[in-house]
Structure 1
Amino acid sequence: MAASVIDRFRELVVDESDPFYFDHPLDHVPGMLLFSGLLELAVRADELRSRGRRPGRVVAGLGFTRFCELRTATALSCTPVPGPNRAWTVAARQSGEEVCAGSIAFADDAPAAPDGSRGAAAPTPSRQAPAELVHRHRPENVLVGEPVRRGRGVVEAAVLEPPAGPEPPPPFRGPVELVEAGRQFATILEHQEHGRPMDVTLLWVALRLDIPYRLDRDVPLLLRWPTARVSGSRSHCAVTLADAATGADLGSLTYEAQAVDPEQYARTRAR
């Protein structure tokens, strides 16, 4: 199929009334919405290239280079990587300048997790983490439980079901839900493990993931982080997505962010 047919371009839809992406007022387009828009574009393009085969796994790496402004149109692009693969180069641009760019690739099947890689996991408490710790205002958008320390070197948190709403959730968890759960876990760690003040803003610098494209909701999930000291204003958090019933590793999520206080944030936005 010709590249001109597979290439995809569209404008990002920014709905500031959306209760998930705009959980609270923002002065920029959130990184989660950029990721969601680029993923959706790549999935649609991949349906043509793979003749409708549903992805089993998604592997992505994105860099966030500048603020994505609310009042400026954001153009999304998706171009196939040459060769026998299901990989795509993606980018988001405003006024010709990249605000986010990277790659998204799909695999036909999710590889089997190692059998009992860590043995059965201990039950993880499911009490919801405080909304302020995950930088959310709406309790219904909190997707992780309170973290629990396992031994000396591991912190874990359960991935929670969103509260029941007017519409039932899909029977599976998708990449956006899993990435947001991981972001919330990483945010909690910044405050509780690394001592970041509560008024700090975490500006995404990079996102990397290797996770199943879909996971049945009846699979209990947890996020696992091996403790590691972080110095400076740049944060780096690599977590494992695991089956809470067996302890088997299912995938990985890595977040890099710049931590700025209110004064630094104001200076950055004034540039």
Structure 2
Amino acid sequence: MEGWRMTASVLERFRELAVDEADPFYFDHPLDHVPGMLLFSGLLDLAVRADGTRARGRRPGRVVAGLDFTRFCELDRGTTLSCRPVPGANRAWTVSARQGVREVCAGSIAFADETPETPAARRRAGVPAPPRRAPADLVHRRRAENILVGEPVRRGRAVVEAAVLQPPAAEEPRPGFRSPVEIVEAGRQFATLLEHEEHGRPMDATLLWVALRLDIPYRVGRDVPLVLRWPVARVPGRRSRCAATLADASTGARLGTLGYEAYAVGPEQYERTRAR
């Protein structure tokens, strides 16, 4: 189901989230809930389509988003996605995902116009060979082709960084740019491995992601080498927090930011949480 609703002379868009448990990317391994990355992807796509009408076809240059994941999104129920425009001369949208009367994810997604300096338009030469992929268990993935970050490297005492890797060559030609979903997933993997390597989380811990914040280019050319950098810091409190910088590895230019918040729970606590 997909449709439009006219409210106060503006368009509100909504549709049902398509959930394919055979998808090798979103369901890299068996899950008992809809993954947050699929919710983000669905809401982003809905907002992009709506923005194309509001912005009269202008392509986004940047995407700024803040999402809160308020409860588990269950596999055995339909999920309705919606977005409505924020009033004013902007390209901002309020978005949400609901299962019946319960909201499972909500926040905002905004776009800015593309500029000549958008990284997707720049070319690179002499890009170094990519590093080895991070261990699968550290990033909570099983399929090697879904590991999008390299092994972490500590730069002195102040910074840990990891390269953003390209997925293996596919049978069908890939777009010549990285999508926001690809970059956000690389950042999620980076934040996950930091929980284990830097913060000492046990390997059987599950990270229940509760918030996502981002300000990144909407399209980054695949010839632009990317790196994620995390200033070594431990934020006090029950939540795990990771604020990383996305940078051009060849020039050092800062391209954007990614922020993740989660609760780390052990197997027994996870089972108790799911039983509620």
- Aligned alpha-carbon RMSD (Å): 1.8
CA deviation map 1:3-51 (0-9, x unaligned): 5662101000000000000000000000000000000000000000000
Query: Are 1:201 and 2:184 counterparts?
Result: no
Query: Are 1:66 and 2:74 counterparts?
Result: no
Query: Which residue of 2 is the match for residue 266 of structure 1?
Result: 271
Query: Which residue of 1 is the match for residue 153 of structure 2?
Result: 148
**d(CA) in 2 for partners of 1:17 and 1:25?**
9
Distance verdict in 2 for CA 1:165–1:111, change over 3 Å: closer
Query: Which residue of 2 is the match for residue 108 of structure 1?
Result: 113
Query: Are 1:172 and 2:170 counterparts?
Result: no
**d(CA) in 2 for partners of 1:80 and 1:59?**
14
Structure 1 runs (4+) deviating above 3 angstroms are: 1-5, 110-113, 230-233
Query: What secondary structure sits across from 2:208 in the alignment?
Result: strand
The offset of 1:2, in angstroms, is 6.3
Query: Which residue of 2 is the match for residue 77 of structure 1?
Result: 82
Query: Which residue of 2 is the match for residue 12 of structure 1?
Result: 17
Consecutive unaligned residues in structure 2, runs of 5 or more: 1-5, 119-127
Under a length normalisation based on structure 2, what TM-score does the superposition of the two structures give?
0.92
Query: Which residue of 1 is the match for residue 190 of structure 2?
Result: 185
Distance verdict in 2 for CA 1:7–1:261, change over 3 Å: same
Identical-pair percentage: 78
**d(CA) in 1 for partners of 2:257 and 2:235?**
19
**d(CA) in 2 for partners of 1:229 and 1:34?**
28
**Which one-letter code corresponds to 2:11 in the other structure?**
I
CA deviation map 1:195-220 (0-9, x unaligned): 00000010111000000000000000
**d(CA) in 2 for partners of 1:4 and 1:65?**
30
The offset of 1:95, in angstroms, is 1.2
Within 5 A, what are the aligned runs for 1:24-173? 24-109=29-114, 112=117, 126-173=131-178
Query: Which residue of 1 is the match for residue 125 of structure 2?
Result: none
The offset of 1:165, in angstroms, is 2.1
Query: Are 1:257 and 2:262 counterparts?
Result: yes
Whether the aligned pair in 1 keeps the contact of 2:130 and 2:165 (CA below 8 Å) is no
Under a length normalisation based on structure 1, what TM-score does the superposition of the two structures give?
0.93
Consecutive unaligned residues in structure 1, runs of 5 or more: 114-122
**d(CA) in 2 for partners of 1:129 and 1:93?**
34
**Which one-letter code corresponds to 2:90 in the other structure?**
N
